Amino acid sequence: MPKARGAAGAQGGLAGALNSALKDFGGIWFGWSGQENNDPANSIHLDRHEGVTTATVDLSSRDIEEYYNGYANSTLWPLFHYRLDLTQYERETAKGYERVNEHFAERVSPLIEPDDLVWVHDYHLLPLGERLRARGVTNRIGFFLHIPWPPTRLFVSLPYHERLVRTMLDYDLIGFQTDEWRESFLHYCREELGAQVDAATGTIRFEGKTAIARAYPIGIDWEHFQAQGETEESRLAEIRLLSSTRDRTAMIGVDRLDYSKGLPERIDGISRFFDQHPDRVRDLVFIQIAPPSREDVKSYQDIRMLLEQKTGQINGAQSEVDLVPIRYVNRGYSHAELYGFFRAAKIGLVTPLRDGMNLVAKEYVAAQDPDDPGVLILSRFAGAAQQLGVEDRGAVLVNSYSPDDISHAIRVALDMPLAERKARYETMITTIRDDNVQAWTSRFCEDLAATR
């Protein structure tokens, strides 16, 4: 297998996946360092850690504002998550997006060797493949989108949408989390570009180019995550949560502080449950862990204020001197601690309004005790629902926009008998264990190597 050269957008949910991929296949992980540097001559930073080589570049304050905070996270992110009301269309940020992708292509192309596979990740780098082709890179180049691809009727609201998709057809293989996102992309190529599309194989032919679009549901690093559960840190986290709940059932949510995660809607559903079942306030405590993200973007500042307001209102109305129904924690925890928290929680609440996959859902199930597993409540709008919500035999699926639906699911989860909990767990755990991140990496790289 030739080495993989990975080009990734901002480090976030995909960081662990790429780290595992490069440990298995070798190569270089290239991307933004996360640092600001206004010196236009700044060089590539090379580092090697645990067998993985990273090559990163700094960005100027202007690049960060226009490319990252601007076009990537104020235009593409909300649009791809179906939030036209939050999508900003500004010419200067679009120019910044193209400028930075050209800058990345200039810096990474000298690192690419003739037999390398090049794997580009996520919405920050949609046009990078075309920029590399323009610089004479003839290697097989693949792209994977970690977030949803919107329906055509939404995507065409993006200025120069056709230009953006044309650049994507310079990739040999384009990967999506689910068949739904893949089919939306194929529909756009057929209806808006007039491309020749074979829906069965995902082959797209357009103006002499041929690309293949396929679905590759990403998984967790099963062995690494299970190893976290064997640590003292994990055991202490489990004990800490169990001892603090005092015989109440713990329900947990772990999400980046992002409007796509449906956190205010989730709190509304919990509020509805307490209103409909006031006698059960003493039976349940909800822990929401929500580390802040993209704090320079106004919509993220707004969501944090709204969430703090809603949790404060519910606690003010439902608390007693000896209990608080919602614990809102605005910080992050290690993987080992999260394993312990998941293990101690008898309900996992994962209710995004729209999500490419959502690995928290899989981690929650992976951390459960097979002899006494908890219940996963999962939004039907998360990509993970296609794998874990199998005909009511896996996760309890909900409409994350409906407080009544969330309230009903919480009651079902609280009252679910052990036999049903075990049956649902067994349905999900095989998929989570077998369709792991290593299998995902192998499938994509093998398919990419076989193209052209």
Residue range 338-394, pLDDT digits in tens: 999 999 999 999 999 999 999 999 999 999 999 999 999 999 999 999 999 876 789
pLDDT for 295 = 67
Interatomic CA distance for residues 225 and 206, integer angstroms: 42
Q: Residue 249: is its pLDDT beyond 90?
A: yes
Does residue 146 have an active-site annotation? yes
Given a contact cutoff of 8 angstroms between Cβ atoms, the answer to whether 357 and 175 are in contact is no
The mean pLDDT of 78-100, rounded to a whole number, is: 96
Q: Which domain holds residue 112?
A: 4-219+437-450
Quick one: 390 and 242 in the same domain? yes
Instruction: Tell me the pairing of strands 173-176 and 141-144.
Output: parallel
From the candidates 116, 121, 146, 258, give the one annotated as an active-site residue: 146
Letter for the amino acid at 371? D
Quick one: 297 and 416 in the same domain? yes
In this prediction, residue 325 has a pLDDT band, given cuts at 50, 70 and 90, of: very high
Quick one: 31 and 130 in the same domain? yes
How far is residue 230 from each of residues 81, 226, 237, 341, 365, measured CA to CA in Å? 36, 7, 12, 13, 16
The mean pLDDT of 220-241, rounded to a whole number, is: 96
- Which residue intervals of 44-124 are DSSP H helices? 61-63, 77-80, 91-108
pTM of the model: 0.93
Letter for the amino acid at 268? D
pLDDT for 14 = 57
* 29-43, 109-123, 219-233, 425-439: least confident range: 29-43
* 184-198, 295-309, 379-393: least confident range: 295-309
Quick one: 176 and 232 in the same domain? no
pLDDT for 13 = 47
From the candidates 172, 255, 355, 405, give the one annotated as an active-site residue: 355
The mean pLDDT of 302-331, rounded to a whole number, is: 89
Interatomic CA distance for residues 336 and 238, integer angstroms: 10
Interatomic CA distance for residues 95 and 90, integer angstroms: 9
Quick one: 243 and 298 in the same domain? yes
Quick one: 228 and 176 in the same domain? no
* 112-121, 388-397, 426-435: least confident range: 388-397
The mean pLDDT of 22-33, rounded to a whole number, is: 82
The mean pLDDT of 137-160, rounded to a whole number, is: 97
Instruction: Tell me the pairing of strands 347-350 and 249-254.
Output: parallel
Domain CATH code at residue 86? 3.40.50.2000
Across the beta sheet with 284-289, the strand order is 326-329, 284-289, 249-254, 347-350, 375-379, 396-398
Q: Residue 420: is its pLDDT beyond 90?
A: yes
pLDDT for 15 = 66
Round the average pLDDT of the chain to a whole number and report it: 92
Quick one: 107 and 31 in the same domain? yes
pLDDT for 40 = 66
The mean pLDDT of 227-255, rounded to a whole number, is: 96
* Residue that wins the pLDDT comparison between 217 and 246: 217
Interatomic CA distance for residues 183 and 153, integer angstroms: 13
When divided into structural domains, the chain yields a total of 2
Given a contact cutoff of 8 angstroms between Cβ atoms, the answer to whether 13 and 359 are in contact is yes
Quick one: 423 and 282 in the same domain? yes
Interatomic CA distance for residues 435 and 100, integer angstroms: 34
Helix, strand, or coil (residue 350): strand
pLDDT for 12 = 43
Quick one: 256 and 167 in the same domain? no
- Count CB-CB contacts under 10 A for residue 133: 17
* 48-52, 72-76, 122-126, 388-392: least confident range: 48-52
Does residue 369 have an active-site annotation? no
Quick one: 425 and 279 in the same domain? yes
Quick one: 364 and 411 in the same domain? yes
Q: Percentage of the chain with pLDDT > 90? A: 81
Quick one: 163 and 209 in the same domain? yes
